[in-house]
Amino acid sequence: MSFQLLTLKSIRARPVVLKLKRPVVARIATLVEWPLILIDLYTEEGVIGRSYLEPYIPKSMGYLIPALHDLGEMFKGRRLAPIEFFEAARKSLHFVGYEGMAMIAVAGIDMAAWDALARAAGVPLCVLLGGSIGAVPAYNSNGLWLRSPMEVASEAVELREEGGFEGLKLRLGRERLADDLATIEAVREAVGSEMSLMVDFNQGLHLGEALERCHAIDDLGLAWIEEPIVYDNLEGYARLTADLKTPVQMAMAMREAAGKPRRAALCRGQGRADPDQQPRRSRGGSGCEVGGS
């Protein structure tokens, strides 16, 4: 594996809005469209690194694309070094903060830079970073939103067959707890006892309601309970994790977690447990941050 020195030439960012085959129907929002920002990082040596961002809201692309182009201008002519780029980009955004839109833009550049280096070396990125290629356990979460129990159960069978998945994630947070319980039961009956099931509340509950609902499903053999409350309520997550047998997940973008580790450590210091985290790079989590977390 050879390492080629690359020089950043320019950044091109393009907005795309997709119509969802299975619209998002969650407690906090209904989405029928899904925005993507396609990023091409051009180098003087002819290697092109690519990445994409998923900023949830189409209007947000109007802010992010100029930020991506500004970062491209800032790094123009510099040797491609993702860790140095990441630190310099964060420093340049100091006065506007390290969370939200700022870190989403930085993440887009970061991923494209790593991709360019891997392409230049002629190896997958995981190999460039010291890993190896192999099978990875995966679950299908492309659907199973807040619809009727029978509709969700029927869709669960479709999703299972899409790629031979051994896990499915369904969303909870209906008006009545009984309807959530009925949905879990219907899905379990439809896909069988061997299928791993996990659930996601999409941050739709307050802590009191989360405690009630999570306790109600704690003995159903779920793989995990994801984001029952808003992402930055770390004390609330520590309480839930300490109270429940089922693992609690925070499927959080690293932009949202920036600056929070100290608070998480405080929770540990109070004798509480931390929830597991699932960084999402395409929604703002940088490879440099994920690697260092």
- Judge if 124 and 156 occupy the same domain: no
- Judge if 123 and 206 occupy the same domain: no
Whether 42 is covered by a domain: the verdict is yes
Whether 134 is covered by a domain: the verdict is no
pLDDT of residue 97: 74
* Residue 268 CB partners (closer than 8 Å, separation 6+): 238, 274
pLDDT tens-digit profile of 110-119?
999 999 999 9
Last residue of one domain, picked from the residues 94, 128, 162: 128
- Judge if 168 and 101 occupy the same domain: no
Whether 2 is covered by a domain: the verdict is no
Q: Which residue segment(s) compose the domain that 20 sits in?
A: 8-128
* Residue 7 CB partners (closer than 8 Å, separation 6+): 43, 44, 45, 77, 78, 79, 80
Q: What angle do CA 244, 250, 253 make, to 5 degrees?
A: 175
Whether 41 is covered by a domain: the verdict is yes
- Judge if 100 and 213 occupy the same domain: no
- Judge if 28 and 102 occupy the same domain: yes
- Judge if 281 and 161 occupy the same domain: yes
Specify the number of domains making up the chain.
2
- Judge if 15 and 103 occupy the same domain: yes
CB atoms within 10 A of CB 273: 17
Secondary structure in 3-state letters for the chain: CCCCCCEEEEEEEEEEEEEEEEEEECCCCEEEEEEEEEEEEEECCCCEEEEEECCCCHHHHHHHHHHHHHHHHHHCCCECCHHHHHHHHHHHCHHHCCCCHHHHHHHHHHHHHHHHHHHHHCCCHHHHCCCCCCCCCCCECCCCCCCCHHHHHHHHHHHHHHHCCCEEEEECCCCCHHHHHHHHHHHHHHHCCCCEEEEECCCCCCHHHHHHHHHHHCCCCCCCEECCCCCCCHHHHHHHHHHCCCCEEECCCHHHHCCCHHHHHHHHHCCCCCCEECCCHHHCCCHHHHHHC
Residue 185 belongs to a domain with what CATH number? 3.20.20.120
pLDDT of residue 257: 44
pLDDT tens-digit profile of 10-66?
999 999 999 999 999 999 999 999 999 999 999 999 999 999 999 999 999 999 999
Last residue of one domain, picked from the residues 128, 163, 198: 128
Last residue of one domain, picked from the residues 128, 159, 194: 128
- Judge if 87 and 204 occupy the same domain: no
- Judge if 204 and 269 occupy the same domain: yes
Whether 1 is covered by a domain: the verdict is no
* Residue 57 CB partners (closer than 8 Å, separation 6+): 35
pLDDT tens-digit profile of 146-187?
999 999 999 999 999 888 889 999 999 999 999 999 999 999
Q: Which two tokens stand for residue 59?
A: 């209007």
70-92: average pLDDT: 94
Average pLDDT, the chain: 87
Per-residue pLDDT band for 93 (boundaries 50, 70, 90) equals confident
Whether 274 is covered by a domain: the verdict is yes
pTM for this entry: 0.83
* Statement: residue 213 has pLDDT above 90: yes
Whether 225 is covered by a domain: the verdict is yes
- Judge if 162 and 279 occupy the same domain: yes
- Judge if 107 and 232 occupy the same domain: no
- Judge if 156 and 285 occupy the same domain: yes
Q: Which two tokens stand for residue 57?
A: 């809201």
